[in-house]
Amino acid sequence: MRLTVGVLTPHAAPGPEVEIPEMASARLDVVVARVSQLEDSTRPAPPSAAADLRTLATPSALRPALEALVEASVDVIAYASTTSGYAIGSAAEVELARRLRELAGVPVVTSGLAASQALKAFGVRRVALIHPPWFEDEMTELGAEYFHDQELDAVTLTATSLPKDPAQVLPEQVIEYVSTHVDTSTEAIFFAGNGFRAASTIEELERRTGQLVLEANQLLLWSLLAATGSNLQIDNHGSLFSRRLPCL
């Protein structure tokens, strides 16, 4: 059966709608619904700030975009916002996924929860979080807290040497940054941010570092395959796909 994946996101930068079909060799369809941004232009904080992300990460704020995905008859919904998970915390993200699943009537997966599941499935205790340069400074602390709350030790690195425009980030730049900055004290690497398209670097970085390499959109694909019970084979995108979650 060919899956139709609904991507629900508050972010403008293309991410899951590009990388998920690429990783799946175009064997599934993706429909995107973007959450409306805040209308109060007097607020100084951009929509990527934690306070605004918390406001957008509620069933009421997400409902119009969610209804558009339901209207499109999607089989599963991927809530694509690592920073929203950071902003509300893992416990609230679990509850949000549950509420969205009730409202939509289909499985709902999220980037942060998929990362936590993958790290635990592989027995990882210490992870390097690679944040793109467009993340707000507060996300460094929130990212560490997100995983610490789940008894995972996180070392957070912001790749300030990369371009701030997601479209300008090249795979070789990502590989060079990680090869230079990540050491052997960690067991896994997680590229946070669904607009941080680093899926093409995973195989090479696993070879160079000997660590499990995770990326936000790769994790969404891994989690949605489990949520739908799909047996779709994913090749050349890391050791993550060697271990499948039980059907969620």
- Domains, the chain: 3-112+217-242 (3.40.50.1860), 115-216 (3.40.50.12500)
Residue 136's pLDDT is 85
CA angle 79, 133, 155 (to 5 degrees): 80
Amino acid at position 94, single letter: V
Residue 36's pLDDT is 77
- Asked if residues 246 and 222 have their Cβ atoms less than 8 Å apart, the reply is no
Report how far residue 149's alpha carbon sits from residue 65's, in angstroms, rounded to the nearest whole number: 30
- Give pLDDT tens digits for 122-148: 999 999 999 999 998 899 999 999 999
Q: What is the DSSP string of 67-91?
A: HHHHHTT-SEEEE--HHHHHHH-HH
**Digits of tens for pLDDT over the chain (248 positions)?**
789 999 999 998 999 999 999 999 989 999 999 997 655 444 444 456 889 999 999 999 999 999 999 999 999 999 999 999 999 999 999 999 999 999 999 999 999 999 999 999 999 999 999 999 999 889 999 999 999 999 999 999 999 999 999 999 999 999 999 999 999 999 999 999 999 999 999 999 999 999 999 999 999 999 999 999 998 999 999 999 997 765 54
39, burial (CB in 10 Å: exposed 0-12, middle 13-18, buried 19+): exposed
Report how far residue 218's alpha carbon sits from residue 52's, in angstroms, rounded to the nearest whole number: 26
Report how far residue 214's alpha carbon sits from residue 196's, in angstroms, rounded to the nearest whole number: 12
Strand partners, 239: none
Residue 46's pLDDT is 47
Report how far residue 150's alpha carbon sits from residue 83's, in angstroms, rounded to the nearest whole number: 16
